[in-house]
Each structure stands twice: as C-alpha cells, then as structure tokens.
Amino acid sequence: MRCLTLADSLRNHGCDVIFMCQELLGNLCDFLEEKEFQVCRIAIDNQKTESLLQLELSQITNIINQSKLTIDWLIIDHYKLDVKWESKIRPFVSKIMVIDDLANRVHDCDLLLDQNPYNNYKNRYQHLVSTSCLQLLGLDYLLLRSEFTNKSNSPKQKTAIAQNILITMGGTDSRNITCWLIEVLEYLRIPLSIRIVVGAGCPHTNKIKLAASKATLHEISVEQSVTNISELMIWSDLAICAGGFTTYELAFMGVPTIVISASDTQLEAAIALHQLGITKFIGEFDNISMSSTVSALSDMIFNSEKRIELSYSGKAKIDGYGVNRVVENLLKEVS
C-alpha cells in the first residue's frame, strides 16, 4: 500500500505511473487497475526463488525494451532484491529508488526510503548504499494515505474513561489474537463499545464474530475489509493493534494506542515508537499474560492523562507531509 500512496501522489503531480507486479497469490493487480493505473503483470511459475528473480528481471527488461519506455525512476519495494538485481536493471532506467526497512542487504540505488524511526536510523544504511545515494529516513518521510492526511483531526479530548475501543490486529491476524483480546476485555468489568476490524484474508473471522456475539459485558461489532478506517479512528478513544503501518496511522490521527507485537518483524518498530512516547508497547504476544494485559488495558482506559499525552505526541511527531517530501525529491532529480 505504501507504493500506492506514493503512486497516487506522483500521478497528482502529473507523472505517468506504471506498476510491474508478479501475479502471486493475493496480488493487487486487479485492484490497481480499478484505481486506473497501468499494470504490467509479471508471470511466474514454480521455479526456485533465484530463478524467479531472474525471470522477473528478464520480463521487466523486455517490457521496457518492447514498449520503448523511458523510465525516469524505477521504484523497488521488494525484500528479496539487492545490489545484484538492481545493478542488472540499472542500464534500462535513469534512476533507482529503493523502499526498505530491514537494512540487511546492500543496494545499488540513487535514493533510499526507510520511514521507520528505528534506533540509530540515521546510520543504518551507512555501509549498505553509496555515499552519493540520497537517504530519506524517519518519520518526516512517512507515506500516509490521503484518507488520513485529508482529515482535520485534533488530538483526543480528555475523557475520564476510554469508552470506544478499536481493535485491529493486522490483515490476517494469523494467531487469532483478536479472540484472545475479547476474552481479556471481559475481565475489565466495565461496559465498553468495541469495534473490531479484520482484513479480507483473516482466516478466523467466523470465530471472532462468534466470540463477539457471546461477550456478555461489551457491545462488540466486527467489520471486515473496511474502507473508512480513518472514520473509525476518529470515533475511537483508544486502539489496540499489532504494530505495522497501522500504528503510524493511528498516531497521526491522535489515537492513543496499545501495541502487542505479533511477529519479530514488528518488534523493532514497536519498541522505537514506545521509546518516542507515541504508543504504549506492552510486549510480544508470546511473552505477555492475560492478567498483565488486563492490567495494562485497565490502566490506559482509566488514565486520561496518559491517553492525552500519547495523542499529542503522535500528532506532534507525524505531520502528514511525508509523501510530499518524497515526491519533491523524486521530481527534483529529474527536472
């Protein structure tokens, strides 16, 4: 989705944008075409990963040659690609931009974007890109969708109790943390209004709906594949999420958020945002108990000062102009 956010802004600035996507299971090719973007589909087969990457390279270069495209910027968002692949594609394009957040491989690129505020984020790519590469690092370059940046949302107002709770544990919530949270919330002994958001690929939706219907204390609704998540954030007094990019969206919208990381890939960002005072990270799912989670939720629900502090901190540190800054740098390099 971060590529789509960037593509929307580039198109609004008069650029022609083409997506080149593998036809993997669950791909977004049809979705992108519905958004009226040109999509070049990269066919795949059951070859080994290394062969797949070579096949992808071959198909992309063929598309460029046959269509006589002039590529000012090739934007790469792919965790398996590194300097070997990028150096082979370089003769076919003017400039290369890489979107990364792992900092675990060398790149051949002219611009690198990592929007996460990890510890030592300014130096993470020091030995992974050339000295001439422009590095756009940190929250100043956060690629927020216009759904959020177009909203005029002030930090949350002070209320004694966080009555409206939003739960969003990722698109799939493969470990079904949501059902566990429904059980946890029953121990709070205060009626709450809870809205749960699950993605289209969540395999536990029916179980979550059943658990919600059996809740005796709270009013719980379950919504799937929502198109108005920003409105739900405005409605909420407190959110519980699994980390990921949704955490940044919640912070920008001024929603105080409790984070439970569901995977190792979410852990570093969860810790960084907690240290910045943007969210309340209570631990990895495997390492927290039901009783400790009840205590953490209770403390946040009844602690209006802490919620206001988190709300103002998120709004202060994320200004919503990140995508504009990235586009400005891209256009400056080809003007």
pLDDT at 199: 87
Give mean pLDDT, residues 161-181: 94
Give mean pLDDT, residues 254-267: 92
pLDDT at 26: 72
Give mean pLDDT, residues 171-200: 94
User: 191-225: per-residue pLDDT in tens?
Assistant: 999 999 998 889 999 999 999 999 999 999 999 98
Query: How far apart, in Å, are the Cα atoms of 330 and each of 220, 234, 258, 323?
Result: 45, 32, 35, 11
Give mean pLDDT, residues 91-116: 96
User: 302-318: per-residue pLDDT in tens?
Assistant: 999 999 999 999 989 99
CATH classification code of 151-317: 3.40.50.2000
Burial zone of 214 (CB within 10 Å; 0-12 exposed, 13-18 middle, 19+ buried) = exposed
Q: Rounded to 5 degrees, what angle do the CA atoms 257, 258, 259 make?
A: 110
- Going by pLDDT thresholds of 50, 70 and 90, the confidence category of residue 22 is confident
Give the Cα separation of 241 and 244 in Å (integer): 8
Give mean pLDDT, residues 125-150: 95
For the stretch 10-45, what's the b/e string if a residue is b when 16 or more beta carbons lie within 10 angstroms of its beta carbon? beeeeeebebbeeeeeeebbeebeeeebebbebeee
Residue 124's SS3 state is coil
Residue-level length of the chain: 335
> Given a cut of 60, is residue 48 above it in pLDDT?
no
- The per-residue pLDDT of the chain, averaged, comes to 92
pTM of the entire structure?
Answer: 0.91
pLDDT at 45: 66
Give mean pLDDT, residues 46-70: 79
Listed by start position, the domains of the chain span: 2-144+320-332, 151-317
> Pseudo-torsion of CA 14, 16, 22, 26, nearest 10°?
40
Q: Is the domain defined by 2-144+320-332 classed in CATH 3.40.30.10? A: no
Give mean pLDDT, residues 247-268: 93
